[in-house]
């Protein structure tokens, strides 16, 4: 994948980003927000409900609680949390974004291969702050 697109929401950074960079759209900070152990995901996004965790990330069955989770999975949780919040554009003003709508978010997700409509049922299961 093109390393200028946010793995979480698909926002185009327009330049290559790396650890410590924060997405203006979904607000994820690379190598920080996406750096999670299984037990942190279980608590933060699943309210310690192991069944929820299994539904969203069956790959984590049998993984130790203290193990750091692969980024493609942590990005999934960040993405679902963003969808659950209604896909807000965090720093729209700074990026000169006006009239950001869910339609724009859908297009952005399409670019990185995710269908908004299929994310919603899972997003509704998770807990987000």
Binding site for Zn ion (CB under 5 A): 6, 8-9, 11, 23, 25-26
Q: How far is the CB of 108 from Zn ion (least distance, A)?
A: 8
Residue that has been written with the tokens 């980003």 in this structure: 17
Name the residue nearer to Zn ion (CB basis): 20 or 62: 20
Name the residue nearer to Zn ion (CB basis): 24 or 69: 24
Q: How far is the CB of 68 from Zn ion (least distance, A)?
A: 21
The answer to whether 93 and 11 are in contact (CB under 8 A) is no
Q: How far apart, in whole angstroms, are the C-alpha atoms of residue 56 and residue 3?
A: 25
Token pair listed for 71? 């980024």
Name the residue nearer to Zn ion (CB basis): 42 or 84: 84
Q: How far is the CB of 61 from Zn ion (least distance, A)?
A: 28
Tell which residue, 11, 40, 59, has the closest CA to residue 127: 40
């Amino acid at each position: 994948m093109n390393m200028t697109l946010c793995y979480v929401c698909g926002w185009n950074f327009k330049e290559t980003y790396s650890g410590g960079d924060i997405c203006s759209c979904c607000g994820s900070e690379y190598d920080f927000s996406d750096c999670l152990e299984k037990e942190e995901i279980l608590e933060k996004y699943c309210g310690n409900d192991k069944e929820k965790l299994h539904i969203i990330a069956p790959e984590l069955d049998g993984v130790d609680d203290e193990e750091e989770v692969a980024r493609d999975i942590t990005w999934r949780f960040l993405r679902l949390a963003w969808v659950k919040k209604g896909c807000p554009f965090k720093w729209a003003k700074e990026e000169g974004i006006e009239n950001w709508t869910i339609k724009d978010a859908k297009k952005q997700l399409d670019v990185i291969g995710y269908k908004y409509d299929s994310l919603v049922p899972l997003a509704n299961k998770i807990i987000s702050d």
